[in-house]
Amino acid sequence: ELDIYASTPILTWMFLTLAILGGASVTIQHVVTKSYEKSWVWLLGLLVLVLCRLGYLYIPYIRDYASFLGDNITQWGYIQDVLSTGHFYIGNYYPITHSLISQTILITGIPTGYLANLGAAVFSAFYIVVIFLLATAVLPDRSHQLLATVVAGTVMVVGEYNVFLIPNGWSILMLPLL
């Protein structure tokens, strides 16, 4: 395949886009009508946003791409260094990320490539949850909290950081948690 977007059926992209619009619409409709105070259906809208985000981000791996970015492979190498030697390479600027992933691999037995590829998308979905928690702590009005979460869920906020193991990208995704 030369182009994942052209080779993936158009219906896949259409259904994911429609699901995102549907999830956002459900939540926004509850905000506009103030029915979020009486019902928890808006939570289903947010769940659809998270699941669709994962769907978009996992398409390359569902299509059986191993990886398609150079830095991602470099990060795998750093993880392999930690796993095989028990030490960090002197030029490793993100030892905490590589240590965390290495420990997860040792505990769970999940292959490096699988965990490195899929972990970034999980962080991206977690980002939406963290934005909701941050909005809940900062914004006093529930409608503003929900709208902030919808915006975070519908926009691919930091591009390639959502898909690849790029430690500085993971720090951007974790920033709202801090």
Among 152, 155, 156, 159, smallest CA distance to 176 is for 152
Question: pLDDT of 103-115, one tens digit each?
Answer: 989 999 988 878 8
Which of the four pLDDT bands, split at 50, 70 and 90, describes residue 177? low
**E strands in the chain:** none
Rounded CA-CA distance 124/174 in Å is 9
Contacts of 124 (CB under 8 A, 6+ apart): 53, 54, 57, 161, 162, 163, 173
Rounded CA-CA distance 128/70 in Å is 27
- At residue 157, does pLDDT exceed 60? no
Q: Which two tokens stand for residue 21?
A: 């619009």
Rounded CA-CA distance 103/29 in Å is 43
Instruction: State the amino acid at position 49 in one-letter form.
Output: L
**Average pLDDT across the chain, whole number:** 81
pTM: 0.67
Rounded CA-CA distance 54/58 in Å is 6
Question: pLDDT of 79-138, one tens digit each?
Answer: 889 999 988 888 888 888 888 889 989 999 988 878 877 777 777 788 888 889 999 999
